[in-house]
Structure 1
Amino acid sequence: MEVIPAIDLLGGKCVRLYQGDYAQSQVFNDNPVDVARQWEEEGATRIHIVDLDGAKTGEPVNLNAIASIAAAVSVPIEVGGGLRSCDRVRELFALGVRWAILGTVAVEQPDLVETLCTEFPSQIIVGIDARNGKVATRGWLETSEVDAKTLATQMEDRGAAAIIYTDIHRDGTLTGPNLDALRELCQTISIPVIASGGVSSITDLLSLLALEPQGVIGAIVGRALYTGDISLGEAVRAVGQGRLQDIPPDLGFSSFA
């Protein structure tokens, strides 16, 4: 299973939110490039980036920071946040980003997801952020009536390469991942699932590792890395970096898209 460190960008700085609340943000580093380099040095094989400003406004905002990170590290990066048009996704790939994470448009413009999956096969990941089983959109500021498992099935049919599943109530809380929800999701779809939200310890990662045979091939870790509750190097050694033969071609592996 792959351990994926997260960098959340707000005003060009590396921050963490609590349960997706913009009013409860904590700045961990003014220079996200330094953070990305640190994660690479500690063994990251991919970096997860969320443009929080973009998720809120509907247009990518932190493109300069994203471009700087892409240029500074050799590991691939995936980015979500405000990607709601073909042009914005193409612009992101032009910066050197490997995977684009789509969230809000999966609910509001499913045909656009299918178009992008066709244009960029194996490079489109759908982020499903759930609050009590219902999908949240627009930077988690709105909650739809769409069921998370139903949306996952629809996005698999549209060509999504993977699903990043975030339990909003667990995000930034260090209370552990929602294993039951992840297990149910894996029983619903056949494409890979990335877990996000609540990971607080190596024990949590080992619990997720037990779900790898069911389809959980990665875990995004945020706050626990910044607080020191988890050492990325130790986490990588503890759970390995995935059974690569089970991952679709070119798809290595929240979301807030």
Structure 2
Amino acid sequence: MILYPAIDLKDGACVRLFKGEMSQATVFSDNPAAQAASFVEQGAEWLHLVDLNGAFAGAPVNAEAVEGILAATNVPAQLGGGIRDIATIESWLSRGLRRVILGTVAVRDPDLVREAARLFPGQVAVGIDAREGMVAVEGWAETTDITVLDLARQFEDAGVAAIIYTDIERDGAMQGPNVAATAALARAVSIPVIASGGVSSLQDLAALKETGAPLNGAISGRAIYDGKLDIAEAMELLRG
């Protein structure tokens, strides 16, 4: 399993939201590039980036901050938020991103996801964000009538690299991930699943690992910023 330290970008700064509410953002750094470099120095082998403004705008907003992160680090990074057409995907991948994450567009235009996965093998992931088991879109502002599993199964044969599964009610709340739902999803589909939302301690990572489900890794943000989760210790646990 891989640990993905999260850098959520709002108005050019690194923030963490509470349960996805833009009005409840805590700013942790106004220098995303330096923050990313610090995570890498601590042992991070991947970075998880989110353009929060972009998720609402439907187009990239924090591009300057993302480019700064890519210039300051030498590890692969994945980015979600406001990526909703092939041109934007191609643009980001050409600038050095290893993987793009498609969320809202996976619901609105699943054929685009399939086309992107065909054009850019191994570089397209699907972000599935859930509120009480139902998929949420548009920066989590709208909850659909589509279940997590129904959406995930649409892409079983598409060649997507991963599914990032986030339980919105756990995100930023430091209450632990939804272990049961995450493990169930990982067992139900052949696509590698990355756990997100609420991962706040070594115990949380151990709980995910101990399910025995074929998880690719876990994303954590606030706990790393707060010093409650040490990247090097987390990496050692996940490798062991």
Q: Which TM-score tier does this pair reach, normalised by the shorter chain? A: over 0.9
Name 2:79's counterpart in structure 1. 79
Give the match for residue 147 of structure 1: 147
Q: In the TM superposition, what is the alpha-carbon distance from 1:91 to its structure 2 partner?
A: 1.1
Partner of 2:239: 240
Structure 1 residues not aligned, in runs of 5+:
242-257
Given the two structures, how large is their TM-score scaled by the length of structure 2? 0.98
Q: CA deviation at 1:148?
A: 0.4
* Aligned equivalents of 2:75, 2:186: Cα separation in 1: 27
Distance in 2 separating the partners of 1:174 and 1:34? 24
Matched residue, 1:111: 111
CA deviation profile, 1:139-169 (whole Å, cap 9, x unmatched):
0011111110110111223221211100000
1:207-235 Cα distance to aligned partner (Å, 9 max, x none): 11123x42112000111011111111221
Letter in 1 for 2:31: N
Q: Is the 8 A contact 2:49 2:78 kept in 1?
A: yes
Alignment correspondent of 1:219? 218
The runs of 4+ residues in structure 1 deviating greater than 3 Å are none
Q: What is the root-mean-square deviation in Å for CA atoms of aligned residues?
A: 1.0
Asked if the contact 1:19/1:173 (under 8 Å) is kept, the reply is yes
1:200 aligns with 2:233: no
State the Cα distance separating 1:121 from its structure 2 match.
0.6
Q: Quick one: distance in 2 between partners of 1:214 and 1:17?
A: 28
Report the secondary structure of 1:61's partner residue: coil
Identity in percent: 49
User: Within 5 A, what are the aligned runs for 1:57-76?
Assistant: 57-76=57-76
> C-alpha separation between the residues in 2 aligned to 1:184 and 1:45?
26
Indicate conservation of the 8 Å contact 1:122/1:161, yes or no.
yes
Q: Is the 8 A contact 1:106 1:155 kept in 2?
A: no
Distance 1:209 1:113 in 2: 29
Paired residues, number = 240
What residue is the counterpart of 2:181 in the other structure?
A: 181
Code of the residue aligned with 1:169 in structure 2: it is E
Contact 1:191–1:215, Cα closer than 8 Å, also in 2: no
Deviations 1:72-100 (A, max 9, x none): 11101000000011111111112110000
**2:111 and 2:237 mapped to 1: Cα distance?**
40
User: 1:229, 1:15 → 2: CA distance?
Assistant: 16
> Does the CA-based 8 Å contact 2:183-2:208 persist in structure 1?
no
User: Partner of 1:155: helix, strand, or coil?
Assistant: coil
Query: What is the SS of the residue equivalent to 2:88?
Result: helix
Q: Distance in 1 between matches of 2:234 and 2:215?
A: 16
Matched residues in 1 for 2:148 and 2:238: separation?
27
Where relative contact order (Cα < 8 A, 6+ residues apart) is larger, the structure is 1
For the residue of structure 2 that corresponds to 1:149, the secondary structure is helix
Q: Distance in 2 between matches of 1:13 and 1:227?
A: 16
- 1:180, 1:161 → 2: CA distance? 22
- Structure 2 counterpart of 1:42: 42
Partner SS state of residue 176, structure 2: coil
